[in-house]
Amino acid sequence: MVNIDNLLAELTLEEKVSLLAGADTWRTAAIPRLNIPSVKVSDGPNGARGGEFADGKSAACFPAGVALGATFDPEVVEKVGAALGDDLKSKSAQVLLAPTINLHRTPIGGRNFECYSEDPYLTGSLASAYIKGVQSEGVFATAKHFAVNDTEFERFTISSDLDERTLRELYLAPFQQAVREANPGCIMTSYNQINGVMASENSHTIKEILRGEWEYDGLVMSDWFGAHSVAGTANAGLDLEMPGPTRIRGEKLVAAVKAGEVSEETINERARKVLELAVKAGKFEDPEEKPEEGIDKEEHRQIIRQAGAESIVLLKNENNILPLDASKLKKIAIIGPNAQQAIVMGGGSASVRTHYTVSPFEGIKNAVPAEVELAHELGCYTHKWCTTLDGKMKTKDGENGVAFEYFVGSGFNEFHSRMVQRSSRIWLFDGLPAGIDGKHFSARLTTLYTPEKTGKHIIGLASSGLSKLYINGEEVIDNWTSQDKPGIFFDSGSAERTSTFQMQAGEAVEIVIEFERSTHPRDMPAIRFGIVEEMNPNSIEDAVELAKTADAVVLVVGLNGEWETEGEDRATMQLAGKQDELISAVAKANKNLVVVNQSGTPINMPWIDDVPSILQTWYLGQEAGNSIADVLFGKVNPSGKLPTTFPIRIEDTPAFINYPGDNGHVHYGEGLYIGYKYYDVRKAPVLFPFGHGLSYSAFEYKNVRVNQPTLEADGTITVSVDVTNTSQVDGKEVVQVYVHDKVSSLHRPLKELRSFKKVNVPAGQTVTVDLVLDKYALGFYDDQQNTWVAEQGAFEAHVGSSVTDIRGKVEFELTNTGKWIK
């Protein structure tokens, strides 16, 4: 049994301080003298990537956070968490850097796809389920980003300015619920400032609230490069600076202790949390770090496919076009820029190298009889940057990928080693050859690319570092002498520069890139290059002609990990490229049309009145195509609900006037009224409301009631409703309960989601659904009393299928006022 008190007594000050920063990108420091082991962490929310950012072992890729939010199903989310925890162990890691539980304050947030919802209760409930699942496997989850980190604009420096009540009721609430219900092993602070104080050194949020009021006993770490002060972070309660090697601790923190700026007792507190994590993770008993593996498990495939299908939201279904009956179709046109691509995840630190992917075209092919003709047209182009060449490159030796020659220092003089990478989007801050100084090296990349078409090809190059690109010995792109901004690598590095080059189909060209490490301290060395083959100027016309010949059209549109990514918010809610034009044109050509949208956020739909059926399918992980096909052809009855409001226009959204901010500050002027709470109080129309989602079944709600007319502050009350499936198809329905405080001393939203349950209702049968409310469902935060309050008086429970589709309500009374902190 490890005695942490004895360890702390034996450690020198310098050794204790060494524990408070990472040893490298993904590991805590070990102290061999006392057999103190290292703990390994890994991204991320939708896959356990392991210790290399881009080119490590493959991993299972699960549905993104917003898709899990759309399931409205804690049981499914807990299964996903358990599978992720299981896969994490194959990467010899003990801590998963997930879940992301910030809120959808604006529909163009770059990382909204990672987050569950605009609603704090839905977010907290699903985050708790995810954490329980991960930690059931003996590893630990990390709730992030703490806190008020809701857009990517100026994300390293912006100050999110808001009042205490809004902070508590919205942006801290999911973390508080997760701590109360699931106790995550770790919490990660965010990059931004909170009311002018960096989140990583914010004593109010970390020390007073998280550690003090909530009595959180786990480890608090910084986001990567998100810690900025020596004494401030230690005194505020930040245990671990990541990544390593340290930038702000080490000798600087030792000096701060000796100068009296930080007490040794504080150092002991911080070191204790690192040691406790190692103990709880079992690393003292098993310190060995085994080689990473990419294990493709059938049970993971099934969970991913199920969760993906359950997250799909049927937004519209006029004339019951869906489900499609393959036995009555001779030809299906599968059109769109996302149809033959497997768009399975958003961009940034959530990305993984998948075991495999299934595109919508492949999923449909798997679902229909062989005699059904499937035909495809691209329709339009949506690339933001030139398309990466993964799977289309060969080395001179015939290996798949690109050959790297590493050199010590600059100038390509002292050759060090050679290795092969599979991707043309390459991160060079981890996975470097042993002996290469990650802060001072150069590299030459060489690969062969064989085009499929003859014509002028666009080639693009971006880098975090200096770079030049040559084709067949000719310099084509100079990204060395100067660089365009903003960068595309988490908003650092350079933008993409492009050039054109004439290529012949079937004739290989040699691509060579010279690269040198940037001296900027925050730039993580990276290279991205790609090619767009000569584009078809008649792509929409060709798609329309195909649509005219088909019995049904599945039009797969949307965004991807270039448009929705960490480091950058979207500029608008519009679909990329000419997708709106494509949809309108195809809708005129064939009325038996299903639009399948893949995005992590709401989009504009100027064509909505012309399209009979719409599926919102998010980013569904490696089984995306199969999950989509399961719903298209009725193998799965859609049961997803919108976890975020789809507004008509970006100008209608609550944060529009206050986004993105000025002079380093963003004012949360909408206060409590984000998402549906804003549209509800304003009685403003939306495209699709929060909680909306159709089914192939029809559900009737009757007899909304409570089990008692009153409850005490520490008691509970049960809201019940009878739900009848009036169709001939078994289906699942999400019953939602919104609470309204009829007389409150402070202003409150008209309705707040406070309970929900997904239930299976067989065709023709009735199921009674019971939903329990307690003080947490009735309370608000009183910023004068500095406490949560559930006030004595009358409340209403509104029961419905969405926030605007309320099927019944019932009144009850809280007999006494209750107050609490945790």
Mind listing the pLDDT tens digit for each residue in 155-211? Answer: 999 999 999 999 999 999 999 999 999 999 999 999 999 999 999 999 999 999 999
From the list 55, 73, 223, 630, the catalytic residue is 223
Backbone φ, ψ for residue 585 (5° rounding):
-70, -45
Looking at residue 678, which CATH number applies to its domain?
Answer: 3.40.50.1700
Tokens encoding 801: 């299928």
Give the mean pLDDT of the chain. Answer: 96
Is 649's pLDDT higher than 90? yes
Does 736 lie in the same domain as 669? no
83: left (phi over 0), alpha (psi -120 to 50) or beta: alpha
Taking the CB of residue 75, how many other CB atoms lie within 10 A of it? 10
Q: Which residues contact 259 (CB under 8 A, 6 or more apart)?
A: none
pLDDT reported for residue 520: 67
Looking at residue 781, which CATH number applies to its domain?
Answer: 2.60.40.10
Indicate if 223 belongs to the active site.
Answer: yes
Does 204 lie in the same domain as 180? yes
Number of residues in the chain: 822
Does 712 lie in the same domain as 665? no
pLDDT reported for residue 1: 83
Does 670 lie in the same domain as 725? no
Amino acid at 167: L
Pick the last residue of a domain from 488, 511, 532. 532
Is 806's pLDDT higher than 80? yes
Q: What whole-number distance in Å separates Cα of residue 773 and Cα of residue 529?
A: 54
Query: 122: domain range?
Result: 39-240
Q: Which residues contact 302 (CB under 8 A, 6 or more apart)?
A: none
Backbone φ, ψ for residue 729 (5° rounding):
-125, 125
Q: Could you identify the residue written with the tokens 């965004």?
A: 559
Pick the last residue of a domain from 207, 222, 240. 240
pLDDT reported for residue 430: 75
Looking at residue 466, which CATH number applies to its domain?
Answer: 2.60.120.260
Q: Could you identify the residue written with the tokens 């009878």?
A: 722
Taking the CB of residue 163, how many other CB atoms lie within 10 A of it? 12
Within a domain: 4? no
Residue 436: pLDDT band (50, 70, 90) is confident
Is 519's pLDDT higher than 90? no
Pick the last residue of a domain from 499, 532, 565. 532
What are the DSSP calls for 552-596, one per residue? EEEEEEE--TTTSBTTB--S-SSPSTTHHHHHHHHHHH-SSEEEE
Looking at residue 120, which CATH number applies to its domain?
Answer: 3.20.20.300
Q: For the chain, how long is the longest CA-to-CA vector?
A: 82
Mean pLDDT of 548-575: 96
Tokens encoding 7: 């360890």
Chain centroid offset of residue 95 CA: 17
Amino acid at 687: L
Within a domain: 13? no
108: left (phi over 0), alpha (psi -120 to 50) or beta: alpha
pLDDT reported for residue 426: 87
Within a domain: 287? no
Q: pLDDT tens digits, residue range 563-578?
A: 999 999 999 999 999 9
Within a domain: 562? yes
Residue 769: pLDDT band (50, 70, 90) is very high
Q: 3-state DSSP call for residue 782?
A: strand
Alpha-carbon distance values, 650 to 18, 114, 177, 582 (Å): 48, 20, 30, 22
Does 460 lie in the same domain as 503? yes
**If residue 270 lies in a helix (H) or strand (E), which one and from where to where?**
helix 264-280
Q: 3-state DSSP call for residue 631?
A: helix
Does 399 lie in the same domain as 516? yes
**If residue 543 lies in a helix (H) or strand (E), which one and from where to where?**
helix 539-548
Q: Which residues contact 398 (CB under 8 A, 6 or more apart)?
A: none
pLDDT reported for residue 523: 72
Does 163 lie in the same domain as 43? yes
Mean pLDDT of 378-403: 94
Does 182 lie in the same domain as 136? yes
More confident: 555 or 1: 555
Pair 240, 274: CB distance under 8 Å: yes
Q: Which string of b and e fits 224-248 if b means at least 16 CB within 10 Å?
A: bbbbbbbbbbbbbbbbbbbbbebbb
Does 399 lie in the same domain as 375? no
Residue 521: pLDDT band (50, 70, 90) is low
Q: pLDDT tens digits, residue range 747-762?
A: 999 999 999 999 999 9
Does 597 lie in the same domain as 489? no
Backbone φ, ψ for residue 265 (5° rounding):
-60, -40
- Going by C-alpha positions, the residue among 376, 361, 303, 354 that lies closest to residue 625 is 361
Q: What whole-number distance in Å separates Cα of residue 715 and Cα of residue 695?
A: 35
Within a domain: 266? no
What are the DSSP calls for 65-125, one per residue? HHHHHHHT-HHHHHHHHHHHHHHHHHTT-SEE---B----SSTT-TTGGGS--S-HHHHHH
Is 522's pLDDT higher than 70? no
Q: What whole-number distance in Å separates Cα of residue 185 and Cα of residue 805?
A: 39
Q: pLDDT tens digits, residue range 246-270?
A: 999 999 999 999 999 999 999 999 9
Q: pLDDT tens digits, residue range 46-91?
A: 999 998 877 789 999 999 999 999 999 999 999 999 999 999 999 9
pLDDT reported for residue 174: 98
The DSSP bridge pattern shows strands 373-377 and 752-761 to be unpaired
- Going by C-alpha positions, the residue among 99, 40, 21 that lies closest to residue 282 is 40
Q: Which residues contact 338 (CB under 8 A, 6 or more apart)?
A: 360, 382, 556, 557, 558, 560, 596, 598
Amino acid at 114: E
The number of distinct structural domains making up the chain is 4
Does 453 lie in the same domain as 437? yes
Within a domain: 20? no
Does 479 lie in the same domain as 369? no
What are the DSSP calls for 150-187, one per residue? ---TTTTT-EEE--HHHIIIIISHHHHHHHHHT--SEE
pLDDT reported for residue 427: 86
Within a domain: 216? yes
Tokens encoding 822: 């945790």
pLDDT reported for residue 44: 86
pLDDT reported for residue 434: 85
| CA angle, 4 then 8 then 12, to 5° | 155
Q: What whole-number distance in Å separates Cα of residue 681 and Cα of residue 673?
A: 8
Within a domain: 469? yes
Residue 411: pLDDT band (50, 70, 90) is confident
